[in-house]
Each structure stands twice: as structure tokens, then as C-alpha cells.
Chains A and B, each alone.
Chain A
Amino acid sequence: MSEFDWVLKGRCYRLGDDVPHAGGVIPNRYIIARQFDPAELIPHLFEETDPGFHQRCRPGDIIVTGRNFGMGPKMNGYIAMRALGLGLVCDSMPFLAYRAAIGEGLRVLTDCPAVTEICESGDELEVDFRNGLFVNRTRGVSREYPAMPEALMDIVAVGGNSGWLKGWWQQRQNA
């Protein structure tokens, strides 16, 4: 777990409130098709609102959203975000969306009130997911948000649920 990068440094990509998973994050057809292959999903992340996003984003960039992000218990969009090396910071997200993001190994902070008011797209951000420290280097402001629960870090560090289960089983076999 020590080699896992819990601090992301990158640019802000700001979204508003109530962005649904289907359509808002990834086109619904990939959700319905149960497409879980990162390579297939990456070109379509935010495709309906911002075509070509995947070519402009860089590993370490941080998606910052308003309230109620990612409605729906689907994980397809988070698979693409993780594969692109992105982080996610939300004012709030429905629990099932949060659980789905953790399950796909995404670095995510939620319950960050009014976070969209202290950043704009393109700002240079630094976010430490271990302690919730959110720094906007461009504006010189910082906030302390709730950290990612320690108990969930071992899931995220190994790439989500399937990675965790694989590691758990191997460890058990070797014991």
C-alpha cells in the first residue's frame, strides 16, 4: 500500500450539481451493455457533455463536483476515471454511487460542502485523500474535508473489490 499515491496533483475539472451517472458521466448504452473494460470506456467518459475529455485530461487531474454526483449504483464511469488516473471530490454523492466508486478503486472524497465554490476548471489542485486536505494552488485556498475512511483504503489501494478479493484469496492460499 505504501507505493500507492494518495496525493494527487493536477488540474481541476469542475462539474455542477445533479450530474447523473447515465448520460452525465458515461453514455447509458455502455451501462446497459455492462461494459466494464477500461479501454472501451475511456473514450466515452463525459462524452455527451464534453467530447474528447479523455484526450485532454492527464493523470492526477481531479474532477470536482457539486451535490448528488453520479446518481445510480453503476460503476462504469468510475472504471474509466481510475484507468485515467483521475481523482474525484464531490460536494455530495448518493451512497450507492460512493460505494460503486470505492468498489472500482477510485480515490474519492465526498461530503465536501461548497467545494465547487473554491475552484474553477483548470485550477492547479493538490488533494490528499488520506486526510482530506484540499489545496487550490491557483487561488491559494485550502479546506479540510472528511478523509477517505481508513477501512476503505485497502480496497482502493489494490484497485477495488476484485483486486481486494484476489489479494485476500492469494494471501489465504499462501498462509
Chain B
Amino acid sequence: MGMTAVEKVLARASGKASVRPGEVLYPVPDFIMIHDGVVMGAKHELDALGIDRLAAPDKVIIVTDHDVIYGSARAAERGDFNRKAARQWGVQNFFDVGRGGHGHIFPMETGMLLPGMFYFDNDRHATNAGAIGAFGFRVGAEISRVLATGTNWVMVPKSIRLKVSGNLKPGVHARDVGLHLATRIANGSLKIDLDYRVLEFAGEIGQFDLAARTALCSSPTEMRAYGVFFPPSEEIIALATARAHRPFTPVYPDADAGYEADLMLEVGTLEPQIALPGGVERAVNLSEVAGTAVSHAFIGSCGSSMYGDLVLAASVLSGRRIYPGVRLFIAPGSERSTRRMIDDGIMKIFIEAGAVLLPAGCGPCNDAVIGPVHSGEASISTAANNNTGRFGARDAKLYLGSPATVAASAIAGKITDPRSVAASQDVLRLAREAA
């Protein structure tokens, strides 16, 4: 039997001809990522053991995305600690405040993360790597062992193949697909358990560019998938080649690979979705909750902060202002996108609409270190999830939708179908060229 895509990635990284689900490996990563919130814990743990040097400091990437502008004195202290840690460890790839951006976005945009690669990450949204055809493996606090020894154990996960059929209608977005997919899994109409599985997309996926694929990595992760994988299209290979820092070998599943389940997902009839407060798996058609008043809106997070997402939101906001009493936060995925927004006139649209630009990173989605909701408020966002208390008061109502839905809702002050707002075609053209 052949191998799935992620099995091939793991086999290559482990120097093996083939691997099977359940096998325990010690793969050698192409790089190791750790974010600003956990450097301190890992450093203290290693220091206590007397471990004062890393196995491969040249492979380590420290990103600053969880608490970028130091919403507290404690965060400023942590930032100072992180800078010292990077120096002591000899980590050159330290992306400090205002450098780089979101660790699960900018490496794809800058050619650090390339098709076929394997890497270790402390954070579970490493699953985004599948958008470009790579595999990032979350080890949580066990990142300390990876830092010290260069590897850690990986049990080869089972893969589930999901064949997409149909094409999205205009105005329907990959995030809508993700919310719908999560809901279908939760209500049992798709009979799969994503716990520690890799969700490998197949079928009519040519319609999804890198931003859309990234968006589609989000909801499965909330449903406990450990990996998502898209076989890279020609466009994505071309994009990766243009940005690559080094040679890479894309990976594709074998025709006779073994999947735990093989499912179909029809997307051609899908309507824009809204996840009701409490979880990504609580999605309904937007029409069911249209008109619900909102006062907090946010576009960003690991699922929706690629340049294409930002431009899509701008196409809806172009020439309009957000509703009185609504605050709209935009957190780009990368400093690169922030700069591009200036060059392309997108920044002007956001500012003139009355939105607030946040530094590249996680925005409110990380524990409300910035831009939280208040008790009793309703929010609409593209956050990774809307679990109770995700970004602020536990009794706030957190709704999720696509970037276009959030933009349309911010303009109207209530949940609004983006198809009812004429988008700027000039701006949308930028989105198509943006990939």
C-alpha cells in the first residue's frame, strides 16, 4: 500500500522508505517554531536542568504574534525575557515586535515554509502548514525537548480524505466551508472523528488559492485535527518557487494510499455561514441570524489574515464607513501584508472606513490581550474559534463568519450577508492578483 501525503513527509524527515499510522518516529525537522508566549516556560525548564545550548539554534524560529504590543507590564517583561533568551540561545531567526507577524502565516509568504517540509511547533495551529503542502507538528510544552535535542516523538497519525465537489457560489468563502464542515462533523452527518487525524483535501480544490486553503485549515483544527493537507497546485508551487530560500520537494499522496475514511463534501450549494456563540461547529446559514446587532468586529487570526482575506474585506468596506458604535479591528497576518496594504491603497480603505489597524499577529484571538469584548456585547469575527470567553467576557456573544461577512456586518452594525453589499470590483481585482 502507498502512503498519504503526511506519511510521505514524515518518512522523508525520518529517513525511512515508508511509515504507517501508529508508528513512533523521531523525525528531523526542517525548522522549529516557538511563539512569544511560551519561550519563557521552555527557557526556565531547560535552565533548571542546566541545558544551556540548543541542538540546532539555526533551525529555531521565535515569533512574536501572541502579545505583540504588550498589553500589560507582564507582557513587556516577557518581551525582554524573549530577547535575552534569543541572544543566549544564539537564535538568529528571532522575529521581534513588528517583525514578521503571525507565525502561522508569514513563513508561507516569505518562503521559509515550503511544500514537503516538516517542522515542530509548540502551537496547535501549526496545521496551517498544510495549506502550502507541508506538515507542522504541535508538541505543546514538549517543545523544550525539541529545542534541546532537535527532535521529539511523533506517532504517525491516520489520514482521512475529503473530496470536495462543486464550486463555491460568489460571495461564499472558504471559512464558510470550514464552519459548515465542522458542523457536519459535530452533528454526525459526516461520520468522522478528527482527533489526531490528518484531513487531506482532494477533489475540486483548484478553486482554493493559498489564502482559501489556509482558511480551510482552521475549523478542522478546532475539531482536533492534528494536520490538514492540500496537495499543492501548480500556482502554489510557482508561488513557493518564487519565494523559496532553498530547494524543496513537493509531496503528493500515492494513488493507493490508505485512508481511515474517504468522504465527499458538496460545496456548490453552500450559503454564507455564521457560527453561533460557543464553537465553530455551531454553524447555521447566515440568513437565520441576519440582523443580529453587533458592536465588536475583528478580521484576522491564523484562519483569515492572508493578504487575500484582507483585500476581500477591503473590497466590501471600500467607500463605506462602519456603523456608529461598532469597532472593527484588522490584524494582518504579516508585516509584509501591512506594507502591501499601504502600497495598494487598502490601508486607506480601512482607515477611511473607521477600522483600527492592529500589529500583525493574533489580535484579540489570543486571550483578549488586545481588543476584548465587554460583558453583554455581541461580536462578529474571523477568529480561530468562538468558544466561551475566547476574547473577553464570558457572557459576550461571539459569532464567526468570513472576512466579507465581518466587513459587511461592521458596516451595517448587524449580521449582514456580504452578497447584499456591492463590493468594489477594482479592489477585488487586487485580491485575485494578491495570492
A binding-site residues for B, Cβ under 8 Å: 73, 94-96, 99, 103, 146, 149-152, 155, 161-162, 164-166, 168-169
Contacts and interface: CB of A to CB of B under 8 A. Distances in A.
A165 B49 contact: yes
B24 A151 contact: yes
A165 B148 contact: yes
Nearest to B149: A168
Contacts of B248: none
Contact of A94 (B25, B142, B157, B196): B196
Contacts of A94: 195-196, 224
For the complex of A and B, list the 6 residue pairs with the smallest distance between their C-beta atoms, beginning with the closest: A95-B196, A151-B24, A149-B24, A94-B195, A169-B51, A166-B49
Q: Is the interface of A mostly helix, strand, loop or mixed?
A: helix
A24 B204 CA distance: 44
Contacts of B140: 73, 96, 99
Contacts of A152: 24, 153
Interface residues of B, number: 22
A159 B157 CA distance: 25
B50 A165 contact: no
B49 A149 contact: no
Contacts of A103: 142
11 contacts: A149-B22, A149-B155, A151-B153, A161-B142, A161-B145, A162-B45, A165-B51, A165-B149, A168-B149, A169-B50, A169-B148
Contacts of B148: 165, 168-169
Contacts of B50: 169
Given A94-B196, A95-B196, A151-B153, A169 B49 contact: yes
B95 interface: no
B195 A151 contact: no
Interface string B1-45: 000000000000000000000101110000000000000000001
A162 B49 contact: yes
B350 interface: no
Contact of A95 (B51, B149, B195): B195
Contacts of A164: 145
Contacts of B142: 99, 103, 161
B144 A165 contact: yes
Nearest to A168: B149
B226 interface: yes
Contacts of A149: 22, 24, 155
Contacts of A162: 45, 49
A173 B153 CA distance: 22
A72 B221 CA distance: 14
